[in-house]
């Protein structure tokens, strides 16, 4: 192949992958489910509940936002300056494939240490408001495990990219894009059995009427669920939650022990119906497909930005900085898709249970218990909100109830 064709190839491939990514997002994301009225927090939350949520966020957000800013700025400041290459040279490790893991893990550790104080202050706020129950030892242990897991993932990515670039100076991006897509697929499949047990213990729900009801609900929904797992979330939090992860043989329906203990059976049933909606729509697989295309596109972008310089291990810090830029810039799109997916699962739970009143009450109860943000700022909504706000979810429940001839009145008398 001519040199000109080799230069054009990543541009063409990038355009094709980007087009495929846009098509998948546009065609598979549920953009409209039901006409929803404008959310009104005051209709369903008392002044005291709204004030408490606002106080909580006013105390928490300065610390959590500062921590997020530092987690972005530290790798950017190192990667986009000569400091990144100097740090590699300071290691004085002759073998690049030994130096790169040390540098990646070291930069991750540095970022964790820089954000440690602000994260600790944020954790203290959640303790003051009764959300966190974990000991400081467990909190530090979780941070250490998270650092190890992230380091392992980034080391694998850096070593793979550099090795391919050193072997094929011009065409390294092609096998790297394929490998990146396969890696995302593998991680999504293995996450429930490799990562989740590092943070929680899981046990099958004890036999009884509630477990039988959940399995029966799954059968009625046409969702193959062999078991319902209970996570020991109470050792870390008082928040109520449930989730679905994995796909195929690793798919699992997990409920927090706090949910089973503190929510009413009807509310738990609605939460489970929501998670069954994710399973019925193969939402994890849908997200994985977007992730595989996104990973392939990211590798092509790295080729266009770094070219043959990808083979230089002294630019490892720059690679990490570019990863941070990519994940930060893609967050609004990821959250937009996630919010629509979550809204579809809410809609699914309403159709499955036909209980708009309990749905609205449940969303209110979860929000009060979890001190969820009712009206986040626009920039925080786009950057961090993976779920609709509680007033948005309540508005959907109320709209669905009205469509079914079962309107739900405001929960707060004015």
Predicted pLDDT of residue 413:
66
Predicted pLDDT of residue 169:
86
**Lookup: tokens for 189:** 């499949």
186-210 per-position pLDDT tens digit: 888 888 878 888 888 888 888 888 8
Predicted pLDDT of residue 365:
92
Predicted pLDDT of residue 414:
55
Looking at the DSSP bridge assignments, the partners of residue 245 are 252
- Annotated binding-site members: 274, 278, 342
Looking at the DSSP bridge assignments, the partners of residue 255 are 230, 242
By CB atoms closer than 10 A (0-12, 13-18, 19+), residue 400 is buried
Cα(409)–Cα(210) distance, integer angstroms = 29
Domain boundaries, the chain: 3-202+256-403
Identify the CA nearest to 61 among candidates 357, 381, 299: 381
273-300 per-position pLDDT tens digit: 998 898 888 888 889 999 999 999 999 9
**Cα distances (Å, whole numbers) of residue 236 to 51, 121, 321, 373:** 25, 16, 32, 20
| pLDDT-wise least confident of 92-96, 161-165, 224-228, 274-278 | 224-228
Whether residue 341 contacts residue 335, with contact meaning beta carbons closer than 8 Å, is answered with: no
Predicted pLDDT of residue 264:
87
- Annotated binding-site members for Zn(2+): 274, 278, 342
Active-site residue identified among 346, 355, 361, 392: 346
**Cα distances (Å, whole numbers) of residue 97 to 168, 187, 207:** 17, 23, 51
- Asked if 44 is an active-site residue, the reply is no
Torsion of CA 50, 366, 121, 102, to 10 degrees: -140
Count other C-beta atoms under 10 Å from residue 120's C-beta: 15
How far the first Cα of the chain sits from its last, in Å, is: 74
- Asked if 196 is an active-site residue, the reply is no
**Would the pTM count as exceeding 0.85?**
yes
Query: Alpha helices, DSSP H only, in 83-172?
Result: 83-91, 96-128, 136-167
217 pLDDT band, cuts 50/70/90, is: confident
Looking at the chain, the whole-number percentage of residues with pLDDT higher than 90 is 71
Count other C-beta atoms under 10 Å from residue 286's C-beta: 18
Active-site residue identified among 44, 123, 196, 275: 275
1 pLDDT band, cuts 50/70/90, is: low
**Lookup: tokens for 170:** 């011009």
Cα(414)–Cα(411) distance, integer angstroms = 10
Cα(154)–Cα(193) distance, integer angstroms = 20
Mean pLDDT of the chain: 92
Predicted pLDDT of residue 405:
92
404 pLDDT band, cuts 50/70/90, is: very high
Higher pLDDT, residue 121 or 220: 121
Q: Long-range contacts: 261-266, Cβ < 8 Å, 24+?
A: 261/234, 262/369, 263/362, 263/365, 263/366, 265/210, 265/213, 266/355, 266/358, 266/362
Cα(152)–Cα(7) distance, integer angstroms = 32
């Amino acid at each position: 192949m001519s040199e000109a064709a080799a230069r054009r190839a990543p541009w063409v491939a990038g355009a094709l992958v980007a087009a495929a990514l846009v098509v998948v997002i546009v065609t598979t994301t549920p953009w409209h489910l039901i006409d929803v009225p404008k959310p009104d927090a005051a209709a369903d939350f008392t002044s005291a509940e709204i004030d408490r949520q606002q106080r909580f966020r006013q105390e928490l957000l300065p610390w959590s936002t500062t921590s997020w800013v530092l987690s972005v700025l530290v790798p950017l400041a190192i990667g986009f300056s000569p400091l990144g290459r100097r740090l590699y040279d300071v290691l004085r490790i002759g073998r690049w494939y030994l130096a790169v893991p040390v540098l990646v893990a070291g930069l991750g550790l540095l970022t964790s240490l820089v954000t440690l104080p602000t994260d600790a202050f944020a954790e203290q706020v959640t303790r003051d408001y009764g959300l966190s129950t974990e000991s400081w030892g467990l909190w530090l242990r979780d941070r250490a495990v998270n650092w190890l897991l992230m380091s392992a993932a980034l080391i694998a990515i850096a070593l793979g990219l550099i090795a391919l670039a050193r072997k094929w100076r011009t065409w390294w991006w092609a096998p790297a894009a394929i490998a990146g897509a396969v890696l995302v697929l593998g991680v999504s499949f293995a996450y429930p059995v490799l990562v989740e047990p590092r943070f929680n213990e899981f046990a099958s729900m004890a036999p009884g009427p509630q477990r039988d009801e959940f399995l029966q609900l799954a059968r009625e929904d046409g969702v193959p669920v062999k078991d319902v797992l209970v996570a020991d979330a109470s050792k870390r939090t008082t928040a109520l939650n449930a989730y679905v992860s994995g796909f195929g043989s690793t798919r699992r329906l997990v409920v927090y022990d706090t949910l089973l203990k503190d929510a009413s059976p009807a509310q738990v049933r609605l939460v489970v119906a929501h998670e069954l909606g994710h399973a019925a729509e193969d939402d994890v697989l849908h997200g994985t497909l977007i992730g595989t295309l996104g990973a392939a596109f990211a590798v092509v972008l790295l080729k266009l930005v770094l070219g043959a310089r990808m083979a230089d291990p002294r630019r490892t810090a720059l690679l990490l900085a570019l990863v941070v830029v990519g994940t930060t810039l893609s967050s609004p799109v990821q959250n937009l898709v996630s919010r629509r997916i979550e809204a579809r699962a809410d809609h699914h739970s309403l159709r499955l249970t036909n209980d708009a009143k309990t749905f609205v009450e449940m969303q209110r109860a979860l929000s009060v218990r979890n001190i969820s943000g009712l009206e986040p700022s626009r920039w925080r909504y786009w950057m961090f909100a993976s779920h609709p706000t509680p007033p948005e979810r309540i508005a959907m429940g109320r709209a669905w109830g009205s469509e079914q001839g079962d309107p739900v009145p405001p929960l707060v008398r004015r």
